[in-house]
Structure 1
Amino acid sequence: MKIIPEILLDDYKKNFPKGLEDKFDALHDAEISNDSFSFYTSVASVFSSKIEGEEIELDSYVKHKRFGIEFLPDYTKKIDDLYNAYSFAKINSLNKTSIAEAHKLLGKHIVTKHQQGKHRIHNMFVTTDDGRIEYVAALPHQVNEEMNAFYEDVESLLKMELIFQEVFYYASLIHLVFVKIHPWDDGNGRTGRLLEKWFLSEKLGEKTWFVQSEKNYYQNHQLYYSNLRRLGLEYESLDYAKAMPFLEMLPKSLLL
Structure 2
Amino acid sequence: MFDELEIIPVDLLEAYSLQIDDDLQEKFDQLKDAEISTSEFSFYTSVSSVYSSKIEGENIELDSYIKHKRFGIEFLPDYTKKIDDLYFAYDFAKDNQINVNNIVKAHQLLSEHIVAKNYQGMLRNHNMYVSTPDGRIEYVAVGPIKLAEEMEKLYHDLTLLLAVRLNIKEIFFFASLIHLVFVKIHPFNDGNGRTGRLLEKWFLSQKLGEKAWFVQSEKMYYENHQTYYQNLRVLGLEYEELDYSGALPFLLMLPKAL
Structure 1: gaps spanning 5 or more residues: none
Aligned partners of 2:115 and 2:189 also within 8 Å? yes
Q: Give, in whole Å, the separation in 2 of the partners of 1:7 and 1:116.
A: 34
Q: Kindly report the root-mean-square deviation, in angstroms, between the aligned alpha carbons of the 2 structures.
A: 0.5
- Report deviation, 1:18: 3.0
In the other structure, the counterpart of 1:81 is: 85
1:5 to 6, 9, 12: 9
Q: Give, in whole Å, the separation in 2 of the partners of 1:160 and 1:21.
A: 18
In the other structure, the counterpart of 1:139 is: 143
In the other structure, the counterpart of 1:127 is: 131
In the other structure, the counterpart of 2:105 is: 101
Q: Give, in whole Å, the separation in 1 of the partners of 2:29 and 2:254.
A: 16
1:207 aligns with 2:211: yes
2:158 to 109, 131, 154: 154
User: Could you give the per-residue CA deviations for residues 126-175 of structure 1, whole angstroms, max 9, x where no partner exists?
Assistant: 00000000000000111100000100100000001100000000000000
| % identical equivalent positions | 67
One-letter identity of the residue aligned with 2:201: K
- Report deviation, 1:23: 1.1
SS at match of 2:138: strand
In the other structure, the counterpart of 1:178 is: 182
In the other structure, the counterpart of 1:241 is: 245
1:51 aligns with 2:55: yes
Q: Give, in whole Å, the separation in 2 of the partners of 1:209 and 1:113.
A: 28
Q: Give, in whole Å, the separation in 2 of the partners of 1:142 and 1:126.
A: 18
One-letter identity of the residue aligned with 2:189: D
- Report deviation, 1:17: 2.0
- Normalising by structure 1, report the TM-score: 0.99
1:165 aligns with 2:169: yes
Aligned partners of 2:24 and 2:168 also within 8 Å? no
1:219 aligns with 2:233: no
- Report deviation, 1:20: 2.0
Q: Give, in whole Å, the separation in 2 of the partners of 1:224 and 1:102.
A: 23
Q: Give, in whole Å, the separation in 2 of the partners of 1:13 and 1:26.
A: 21
In the other structure, the counterpart of 2:198 is: 194
In the other structure, the counterpart of 2:41 is: 37
| TM superposition outliers: structure 1 runs of 4+ over 6 Å | none
SS at match of 1:17: coil
One-letter identity of the residue aligned with 2:115: V
In the other structure, the counterpart of 1:19 is: 23
SS at match of 1:134: strand
2:121 to 117, 120, 141: 117
- Report deviation, 1:19: 1.7
- Report deviation, 1:14: 1.4
Q: Give, in whole Å, the separation in 2 of the partners of 1:224 and 1:95.
A: 27
One-letter identity of the residue aligned with 2:192: N
More divergent stretch after superposition (176-185 vs 18-27): 18-27
SS at match of 1:214: helix
SS at match of 1:33: coil
SS at match of 1:226: helix
In the other structure, the counterpart of 2:67 is: 63
Structure 2: gaps spanning 5 or more residues: none
1:28 aligns with 2:23: no
One-letter identity of the residue aligned with 2:9: P
